[in-house]
Amino acid sequence: MEFYYYKQPVVKKIEPKSGVVEGGTQIEIYGAWFDYKIEYGLVPHCMIGDKITRGTFVSTVRIVCTSPPNTNTAEALPVKVSLNGVNWVDSGFRFGYFEPPVIKGISPKSGKMQGGTEIYITGEKFSNITEARKALCKFEQVLEGRPNPEHIVYPKTIPAYYLNETTMMCASPSGFRGGDQAFVSLTFNAKDYTKNDQAGVFSFFNIIGSFPRSGPADAYDEVILIRGAGFKPGAEVICQLNNT
């Protein structure tokens, strides 16, 4: 029989530092002296609180562990690592759990394709205890049929801002075309996003021009035609002329 001696790993950073109570969050752990030799039982493991999960060796400076389920949302739990599942090293970092958010609606449901529209997201279980820079909105294009590859837009992420337990706010991004629709999803750890559904669909429109460009001052109930893309039947349409 052989016995293999290894150097205990050192942890410098973990990302993210929180995840949903159902577990399944991919936790990236950075440091030094990580190793993998299956013939000696040298396999990375993580312990979050009192629950152990097997990790994946990526390199000598990085491993990835999947968070186990945990219903304790009251406090962040210590994170430990081991290369043999027996001898543990306290990383000095903690990992917290939160209830997954639920999106019930967005307002407004459409905006100009240039972006910048403030969108208010309503729902449940919104959290303000996670890292602020990890709260993000993702805009993912709604694709139907076989779209032209030139018209496909890659998902875009925008910072999200906590207002209260039922309201978040983010701004629509640029890069979409007039007529495009996008699922709006939310994350509090830059990893676990809400599921795409119709409650969070945002439409992008574009104004190309209008006709006629002028009319008599005493005219009433004249028609002005607006041309563009992304107009929706049944939408609440408001025209503003000189602040009226």
User: Do residue 181 and residue 147 come from a single domain?
Assistant: yes
Write out pLDDT tens, residues 74-118. 889 999 999 999 999 999 999 999 999 999 999 999 999 999 999
User: Do residue 173 and residue 123 come from a single domain?
Assistant: yes
Determine, yes or no, domain membership for 177: yes
Looking at residue 200, which CATH number applies to its domain? 2.60.40.10
Side-chain half-sphere exposure of 238, counting CA atoms within 13 A: 6
Write out pLDDT tens, residues 193-211. 999 888 899 999 999 999 9
Give me the domain span that covers residue 134: 102-206
| Contacts of 42 by beta carbon, 8 Å cutoff, 6+ apart | 4, 6, 35, 36, 83, 84
Domain count, the chain: 2
Output the pLDDT for position 132: 66
User: Do residue 138 and residue 183 come from a single domain?
Assistant: yes
pLDDT band at 129 (very low <50, low <70, confident <90, very high): low
The answer, yes or no, to whether residue 14 has pLDDT greater than 70, is yes
Output the pLDDT for position 148: 74
- The closest alpha carbon to 211, from 221, 201, 222, belongs to 222
The answer, yes or no, to whether residue 150 has pLDDT greater than 90, is no
- The closest alpha carbon to 9, from 51, 52, 58, belongs to 58
Output the pLDDT for position 130: 61
Write out pLDDT tens, residues 15-29. 999 999 999 999 999
- The pTM assigned to this predicted structure is 0.80
